[in-house]
Amino acid sequence: MPAQAGIHWKHLDSGLCRNDGGKKDVRFSIHPWSRAMRIDVITLFPDFIESCARVGVVGRARERGLIEIATWNPRDFATDNYRSADDRCYGGGPGVVMMIDPLRKALDSVRRASGSEHGKAIYMSPQGARLDQAKVEAFAQRDHLILLCGRYEGVDERFIEHAVEEEISVGDYVLSGGELAAAIVIDAVGRLQDGVLHDAQSAQQDSFSDGLLDCPHYTRPEHHEWGDVPAVLASGDHAAIARWRMKQSLGRTWLRRPDLLEQVVLDKKQRALLDEFRREHEEKTTHDRDSGSGE
Ligand code: 4GY
């Protein structure tokens, strides 16, 4: 670990800063003022999280030391010979529930390793508040997250009451465990860390960064059996291109996710662009209807 004057590394002792010997530590050259975000994941399937954390944008960010990800298996904190982390459900019925004590010991280890003395977990569950980009951005601001993945029937409610700060759901469907949901949080939060995406613009150009859906994208060839690239995109007129993209974003959001459109305040220019889109859409659909498909 390179010694850096004036920079306090809370997590120096954790052994998680992946600075292989000779490699330059890019955290200091790109953003010397910021510390890598740390994400601890409590899971019965650490391999799943580890393999997710090795690929793509997040994998590269982790290699470069821009994010630290560590996994903790409650089984490793069990006290019996079977390494039990779950037990039968009180009240009867099928299935098992994750026990308090192995989880509690895993959390204590996270707290010691991260220096977050009173850190609580974020529990991935369908009972939680829905994850959206605003929530992802709020998580991305934090320097430490502890994600708790449930399996089976879930986690003993007393652990949730004492050691969980919030429950988060990635969508209204039931997974067989919280790991996929945690991987979603890691990916969405990881790509927003400083230095992770290629240019500062890429995160701002995202779908949802302004509460709207993304516009369509095209690459070569310009002319194809399946259609042509909209001429404006090849025109080199940057103002016209920006206008077209905004109009498409507004139009698609109006068509596909009117619920999102209700949450954003449009400026005068955007209202005019959306009106234009709607008029053209109206024209197109009436034309399609009139020149009918034989109905
Ligand atoms: N949906 N959003 C989700 C999930 C699996 C039984 C508790 C979701 O976040 N997590 O479906 N999780 C269940 C499986 C235990 C977690």
**How far, in Å, are 84, 102, 274 from residue 48 at the CA level?**
20, 20, 43
Burial 118-138 (b: 16+ CB within 10 A, else e): ebebbbbbbebeebebebbee
Pocket perturbation via mutation, ligand 1, pick of 125, 130, 176 by most ligand atoms within 8 A of CB: 125
Q: Which of the residues are catalytic?
A: 126, 153, 191, 206
Reported as a single tens digit per residue, the pLDDT across 174-198 is 999 999 999 999 999 999 999 999 7
Task: Tell which atom from ligand 1 comes closest to the C-alpha of 170.
Answer: 2
* CA-closest residue to ligand 1 atom 1: 126
Residue 295 in tokens: 């109905």
Beta bridge partners of 68: 38
Which protein residues are within 6 Å of ligand 1, measured from CB? 124-126, 150-151, 154, 169-171, 173-175, 177-178, 181
Give the global pTM: 0.88
Mean pLDDT, residues 15-44 taken together: 63
pLDDT score recorded for residue 27: 45
Spell out the alpha helix ranges (H) of the chain.
26-30, 46-52, 56-63, 100-114, 133-141, 157-163, 179-190, 200-204, 238-256, 258-261, 268-290
Reported as a single tens digit per residue, the pLDDT across 111-134 is 999 999 999 999 999 999 999 999
Cα 229 to middle of ligand 1, angstroms? 41
Cα 155 to middle of ligand 1, angstroms? 11
Residue 58 in tokens: 């997040």
